[in-house]
Amino acid sequence: MQIVYHGSYCIVENPEIKVGKYTKDFGKGFYCTILEEQAIKWAKKYDTPIVNKYEYNQNNKLKIKEFTVMTEEWLDFIINCRNGQEHDYDIVIGAMADDQVYNYITDLMNETITRAAFWELAKFRHPTHQIALCTEQALNCIKYIGSEEL
């Protein structure tokens, strides 16, 4: 069992998988992190910042993709997801492309920088973490245990 956090503008006792108008790093899903500070940063984007807390029990019977480090495979996966390509994983875990890294990815996709330049710029970013719960079965891996308004 591990504690994970979700930054939001409301209490989320019953997480749902929502497809937003913007594509995300690992596609559609409910996003959490093991880094409380990161969830606080996510929440502070809203007028009513709330950090939700869950118990996470990974179900190894599910199809899980984990990127332990930022690699070419991680980069290609994010580019594909941000281009709207779907995948068949229940859970995807790895570093997130924060606002600055996302800008580098956009530059790479627009061919204004090379892959070598991307990696040179990305190596100076702070460590990040995200867990994308991409299916209803994956949502069963978390249990709401509380929230805090900041």
CA dist 23 and 37 (Å) reads 23
Q: Domain tally for the chain?
A: 1
Domain interval for residue 57: 2-149
Picking from 123, 147, 150, the residue whose alpha carbon sits closest to that of residue 6 is 147
Q: What would you measure as the largest C-alpha separation in the chain, in angstroms?
A: 45
Distance of CA 61 to the CA centre of its chain: 21
pTM of the full predicted structure?
0.84
- The 10 Å Cβ neighbour count of residue 58 is 16
| Band of pLDDT at residue 8, cut at 50, 70 and 90 | very high
Residue-wise pLDDT tens digits, 39-98:
998 899 899 999 999 999 999 999 999 998 888 899 899 889 888 899 999 999 998 876
Q: Are strands 64-66 and 130-133 parallel, antiparallel or unpaired?
A: unpaired
